[in-house]
A and B are shown apart, each in its own frame.
Chain A
Amino acid sequence: MSTPAAAPTAQILITLNRKRVYIFPSKHGIMLAVMVFVILLGSVNYDNALGYLLSFLLFGLFLIGVLHTYRNLTGLSYVAGDAKPVFAGSDATFKVTIENTADWQRYNIHLAHRPGLSNRWRRRRSIVRAEIATIKPRSIATMNLTLAATTRVSLHLTRVRISSVFPLSILRAWGYFETPLQCLVYPQAIGQLAMPLDVHAIGESNVGVSQGNDDFAGFRPYQAGDPIRTIAWKNLAKQDPVLVKRFTGGGSSAVRLRWADTAVLGDTELRLCQLSHWIVEAERLGLDYALELPELTIDPNSGSAHCHACLSALALY
């Protein structure tokens, strides 16, 4: 449980077997059972031999259904899983890989997130989408289970329910995989504060300044809070989108995104969101950026790995 976003391993973690597969009539099954009972009652009353035959034939289908539904699920193994980090407020997609070692095909396999009973209702609502899959004999299938990532830090997929109503939808067989899967959830990338592009106060070490006034280095879209003097008025007059002139100075161009700069927001979560927003912006603009948190500093860099490192730091703050 502790390893975040477990790397896919070839090792089989759990295989469904007799002790792990549960079966119970589904809603439709109960409907059919009531109907069969009515037929049986009618047969008794009218002493109708064919009525007896039909009710016992349907009853037989029900009983046989137990075997077939069980057979459709038993022997399936959870092989691996993976989830890419997401921002809070979006959907996290877990890729769960199931292996079928048997020589028969599995139909209508359905995954769902089912943590313990305690907060079942809340978690159930969090399921956005679950796929239904067919798994061929002796093969693996990767299924996507999409949950809503509401809060930062991480989303645990602790218990996956694998179920199937094949072949008649009158019985549901299910089992649970205890998976170590979790998805890192970055703080939502929102914030009103302008990125601290103005860096005079920081000093001029090579890790500091990301923006000077010396050399023109191109345009970028205007953001609330940009100094008025950096606005490219000429372009604005040409009815282009509002752009801001960028200058480089001090021989280095790295932004420092500091925890301290967000102090005005007060609330920790809001400050993390703001930092997250800045990181995303900086990454989008192709800037080098550094992150300074109270107990952690990440040196300036860019690229997806760096971005992930910074956002992870925020997520786990």
Chain B
Amino acid sequence: MRAANQSHVQRQHVFWALLCLVLALMPHASRFSPWLLVCFCTLAAWRVLGEVHLLPLPTRAHVWLWILKQLLALAAFTAIYISYQGQIGRDAGVALLTALLGLKMLELNRERDYYITMFLAYFLVVTNFFYSQTLATAAFMLLIVVIVTGRLISFNAPGSSLGPLRSVRLDSSYVAQAIPLMIVGFFLFPRIPGPLWGVEQASSAAVTGLSSEMSIGHITELGVSDEIAFRVAFDGAVPRAQDLYWRGPIMWHTDGRNWSAGDVGDGPAVTFFGEGPVYRYSVTIEPHYERWLFGLDAVTQFDGDARHTSDGRLLSKNRIRQRQRYTLESQTDFKFPTITDSERQAALELPTNFHPLTHRLADSWRATSTTDAEIVNKALAHFNREPFNYTLTPQVLRGDPIDAFLFDTREGFCEHYAAAFVTLMRAAQIPARVVTGYQGGEFNSLSDYMVIRQRDAHAWAEVYLDPLGWIRVDPTGAVAPERVSLGISRALPQRSRLPILGTDFGSVHLLRGVGDLWDAMNYNWSQWVLGYTPKRQQQLLEDLGFENWHYANLVFLLTTGLAALMALIAVLVLRSRPPRIDPAFVAYALFCRKLARVGFIREPSEGAVDFANRVSRIRADLAEEIESITKLYTMQRYAEVETSASQLIYRVRRFKPRKL
């Protein structure tokens, strides 16, 4: 028992609150500047030492320490302002919150402070979501909510009246009951599209994936990454492996060494003339902080805020800052006849006085050929016939990279071949461009969708042949056809196979199964949680039988759903269980029966102690036994602490009074 009003928070609760804060901040640890981390830890340590009276805390009793604390606060805010250049963004906000919490730890004295701290621990979890929204983050959120809620429950059962075991049970059942409500709220709360106020650009996010520039060697880094670029769920037929070209940025310009996209192909949409089967599919794309949307060549239908460019790319209106889902239609047999003058010019451009050997080779082909198509075939035949090697770890190209590759090292991977091929074509006056993107994809063994990883990044070429239009030419296929038909992990020699989760050969089947399961979970997570847009909500509503998506319908569904769940949980929670018979009571009744057999009958109004005294006075031989049993019984029944009845039961069983 304790006094009700404004008591000081007990030491154990202070420690727990500190622990909760530290736990909630943990995912941020790697994102903070080290000084902030040191600052926070120092403040936490100060509080802990103060709590065990090894250091004074900055109360008004210690004016100098109090002033020191104020100065510390000022210093922290200034440091944050300077290190984030005065921008109140995501990172600065989290840093500021951390500094405030560090200072708050020093004045966690009253009940109110305790609650503020614990609620802020809930809030800290949110800051994490700006950086990561994976399943693991969700699990972490749940963990923090369970811990913080558990501590709040303990805090609200003062004294030791709530044992740790019961506390955990209560806590987990409490959170478990809230989860169905969470699910209903999540799906039925009316989703409003678009931001309510300005959202700043995520600038410091790490970028993986393709880029708008290509310098030889870039795709190698992607080539070893198992990170998922996007997932594709086909609605119906699946294209053949050799048709799985996912179009990305297109490289028009080159300085002989580096390739870049520029804005040549940014013109308005093209018309593809699709033939053959139509593939319908939805793509769930991972954030890459650019605007490209990947689609199977060639996309004929798309939805949402996207547009087609004149070189056939699909661009999102906004940067892809979080996982997104879009639906496309493609036809892998297509004609792409459009070319503008500026495009033709850019597609023939080569740096002057570069690649002399390449120019000589191209000129010789031009001299002996009558059509452009013949030159293309000659080039492919050249790659095939000459000893070119496909490897992810080529030698460094010195001097003129294209000449060195074509005539000296003769080993490389897709971008070497694509760049060399396009250079050859341009040298032979055939318009050509490098297309980057992904090639291939892998079906998840547990679920019906395809995963495209960063290591599936690929570069190929397109040449413009009159009158056919743009034709895809994959020179890598001429060297290593299995790269195109089987995917990258089979195209490589044994020793340079990819890290474990990327491989699919024998010994790691189990690991692959686990990996697939994890990925399947992630896929559903992104489908149902991250990709749950207003549009999907509308679809859900239609599936539930509501013709029109209307806020009123949603509000109606939401309240009905919540009320129904609450009623159900109320029945479960408030249900009165049949009274459990106290084992101590049963044991004592047996004890009384045994005494009754030897002639001592307990009066209805007689208390246990009185009865024991009465019997003991007459039967001194039993007195000791009776006294200890009675003591155990009264402790069981009336003491504050909960003990096991086993000792009592044992003693009563052994109690064998004999008649005198």
Binds A, one of B182-190, B452-460, B516-524: B182-190
By a CB distance below 8 angstroms, the chain A residues around B562 are 63
Contact B529 A107 (CB under 8 A): no
Q: Say yes or no for A59: interface residue by CB 8 A criterion.
A: yes
Binds A, one of B171-179, B287-295, B503-511, B650-658: B171-179
Q: Say yes or no for B96: interface residue by CB 8 A criterion.
A: no
Q: Looking at the assembled complex, report how far the CB atom of A284 sits from the nearest CB atom of chain B, in whole angstroms.
A: 32
Binary A-proximity of B73-94 (CB < 8 A = 1, otherwise 0): 0000000000000000000000
Complex: A299 Cα to B582 Cα, angstroms: 54
Binds B, one of A128-136, A186-194, A222-230: A128-136
Contact A133 B181 (CB under 8 A): no
Q: Say yes or no for A95: interface residue by CB 8 A criterion.
A: no
By a CB distance below 8 angstroms, the chain A residues around B63 are none
Complex: A201 Cα to B442 Cα, angstroms: 120
In A128-160, the 8 Å CB interface with B consists of 129-134, 138
Complex: A103 Cα to B122 Cα, angstroms: 32
Complex: A131 Cα to B170 Cα, angstroms: 24
Contact A61 B119 (CB under 8 A): no
Contact B186 A52 (CB under 8 A): yes
Complex: A193 Cα to B530 Cα, angstroms: 86
Contact A45 B122 (CB under 8 A): no
Binary A-proximity of B154-170 (CB < 8 A = 1, otherwise 0): 01111101100000001
Binds A, one of B195-203, B482-490, B607-615: B195-203
**Tally of A interface residues using CB under 8 Å:** 51
Complex: A110 Cα to B1 Cα, angstroms: 10
Complex: A130 Cα to B580 Cα, angstroms: 32
Identify which of A50, A57, A66, A169 contacts B115 (C-beta below 8 A). A169
Contact A28 B189 (CB under 8 A): no
Contact B185 A59 (CB under 8 A): yes
Complex: A39 Cα to B122 Cα, angstroms: 10
Contact B115 A52 (CB under 8 A): no
Q: Say yes or no for A167: interface residue by CB 8 A criterion.
A: yes
Identify which of B149, B180, B573 contacts A71 (C-beta below 8 A). B573
By a CB distance below 8 angstroms, the chain A residues around B4 are 110, 129-132
Q: Looking at the assembled complex, report how far the CB atom of B512 sits from the nearest CB atom of chain A, in whole angstroms.
A: 28
Q: A39-B123, A61-B178, A130-B4 are in contact. Are A108 and B138 (CB under 8 A)?
A: no
Complex: A150 Cα to B424 Cα, angstroms: 106
Binds A, one of B31-39, B129-137, B259-267: B129-137
Q: Looking at the assembled complex, report how far the CB atom of A210 sits from the nearest CB atom of chain B, in whole angstroms.
A: 43
Q: Say yes or no for B592: interface residue by CB 8 A criterion.
A: no
Q: Say yes or no for A206: interface residue by CB 8 A criterion.
A: no
By a CB distance below 8 angstroms, the chain A residues around B197 are 45
Q: Looking at the assembled complex, report how far the CB atom of B162 sits from the nearest CB atom of chain A, in whole angstroms.
A: 6
Q: A57-B145, A130-B4, A168-B149 are in contact. Are A49 and B177 (CB under 8 A)?
A: no
Q: Say yes or no for B320: interface residue by CB 8 A criterion.
A: no
Complex: A63 Cα to B177 Cα, angstroms: 10
Identify which of B116, B156, B186, B199 contacts A167 (C-beta below 8 A). B156
Q: Say yes or no for A217: interface residue by CB 8 A criterion.
A: no
Contact A63 B566 (CB under 8 A): yes
Q: Say yes or no for B306: interface residue by CB 8 A criterion.
A: no
Contact B195 A50 (CB under 8 A): no
Contact A59 B181 (CB under 8 A): yes
Identify which of A52, A57, A103, A138 contacts B178 (C-beta below 8 A). A57
Q: A59-B185, A63-B181, A167-B174 are in contact. Are A54 and B126 (CB under 8 A)?
A: yes
Contact B580 A51 (CB under 8 A): no
Q: A59-B181, A59-B185 are in contact. Are A67 and B123 (CB under 8 A)?
A: no
By a CB distance below 8 angstroms, the chain A residues around B196 are 41, 44-45
Contact A46 B199 (CB under 8 A): yes
Complex: A134 Cα to B142 Cα, angstroms: 29
Identify which of B119, B158, B569, B640 contacts A67 (C-beta below 8 A). B569
Contact B186 A32 (CB under 8 A): no
Complex: A284 Cα to B570 Cα, angstroms: 60
Contact B175 A61 (CB under 8 A): yes
By a CB distance below 8 angstroms, the chain B residues around A107 are 156-157, 161-162
In A230-273, the 8 Å CB interface with B consists of none
By a CB distance below 8 angstroms, the chain B residues around A55 are 185
Contact B2 A132 (CB under 8 A): yes
Contact A68 B174 (CB under 8 A): yes
Contact B157 A31 (CB under 8 A): no
Binary B-proximity of A30-58 (CB < 8 A = 1, otherwise 0): 01100100010110111111111111111
By a CB distance below 8 angstroms, the chain A residues around B123 are 35, 39
Identify which of B138, B174, B532 contacts A61 (C-beta below 8 A). B174
Nearest residue, chain A, Cβ from B90: A46
Q: Say yes or no for A12: interface residue by CB 8 A criterion.
A: no
Nearest residue, chain A, Cβ from B153: A167
Binary B-proximity of A160-195 (CB < 8 A = 1, otherwise 0): 000001111100000000000000000000000000
Identify which of B3, B122, B574, B576 contacts A35 (C-beta below 8 A). B122
Contact B158 A60 (CB under 8 A): no
Contact A31 B129 (CB under 8 A): no
Contact B130 A48 (CB under 8 A): yes
By CB atoms of chain B within 10 A, which of A31, A51, A53, A70 has the most?
A53
Contact B178 A108 (CB under 8 A): no
Contact B1 A50 (CB under 8 A): no
In A76-113, the 8 Å CB interface with B consists of 102-103, 105, 107-108, 110
Identify which of B1, B141, B162 contacts A54 (C-beta below 8 A). B141
Q: Looking at the assembled complex, report how far the CB atom of B631 sits from the nearest CB atom of chain A, in whole angstroms.
A: 19
Q: Say yes or no for A64: interface residue by CB 8 A criterion.
A: yes
Identify which of A60, A108, A131, A169 contacts B182 (C-beta below 8 A). A60
Nearest residue, chain A, Cβ from B4: A130
Contact A133 B1 (CB under 8 A): yes
Q: Say yes or no for B299: interface residue by CB 8 A criterion.
A: no
Q: A31-B119, A39-B123, A57-B145 are in contact. Are A49 and B529 (CB under 8 A)?
A: yes
Q: A53-B138, A107-B161, A132-B4 are in contact. Are A44 and B192 (CB under 8 A)?
A: yes
By a CB distance below 8 angstroms, the chain A residues around B130 are 46, 48
Contact B177 A64 (CB under 8 A): yes
Complex: A165 Cα to B141 Cα, angstroms: 25
Q: A35-B123, A49-B532, A64-B174 are in contact. Are A56 and B185 (CB under 8 A)?
A: yes
Identify which of B116, B156, B580 contacts A108 (C-beta below 8 A). B156
Q: Say yes or no for B577: interface residue by CB 8 A criterion.
A: yes
Contact B156 A50 (CB under 8 A): no
Q: Say yes or no for B310: interface residue by CB 8 A criterion.
A: no
By a CB distance below 8 angstroms, the chain B residues around A53 are 138, 141, 182, 186, 529
Q: Looking at the assembled complex, report how far the CB atom of B536 sits from the nearest CB atom of chain A, in whole angstroms.
A: 11
Complex: A191 Cα to B162 Cα, angstroms: 51
By a CB distance below 8 angstroms, the chain A residues around B634 are none
Contact B156 A56 (CB under 8 A): no
Contact B116 A31 (CB under 8 A): yes
Complex: A44 Cα to B126 Cα, angstroms: 13
Identify which of A39, A67, A131 contacts B573 (C-beta below 8 A). A67
Q: A64-B177, A64-B178 are in contact. Are A108 and B569 (CB under 8 A)?
A: no
In B547-587, the 8 Å CB interface with A consists of 562, 566, 569-570, 573-574, 576-577, 579-580, 582
Show 8 A/B contacts (Cβ-Cβ < 8 Å), sorted by A: A56-B182, A56-B189, A57-B141, A58-B145, A64-B174, A103-B579, A130-B3, A134-B640
What would 20 more interface pairs be, CB under 8 Å, given A49-B532, A129-B3? A28-B112, A47-B322, A48-B322, A53-B141, A53-B529, A54-B122, A54-B126, A55-B185, A56-B184, A60-B179, A61-B178, A63-B181, A64-B174, A64-B177, A74-B574, A103-B576, A105-B161, A107-B156, A132-B158, A133-B1
Interface residues of B (CB under 8 A from A): 1-4, 112, 115-116, 119, 122-123, 125-126, 129-130, 133, 137-138, 141-142, 145, 149, 152-153, 155-159, 161-162, 170, 174-175, 177-186, 189, 192, 195-197, 199, 322, 529-530, 532-533, 562, 566, 569-570, 573-574, 576-577, 579-580, 582, 640
Q: List 10 tightest A-B contacts by C-beta distance, closest first.
A: A60-B178, A60-B181, A56-B185, A134-B161, A107-B157, A50-B129, A56-B182, A57-B182, A45-B196, A167-B153
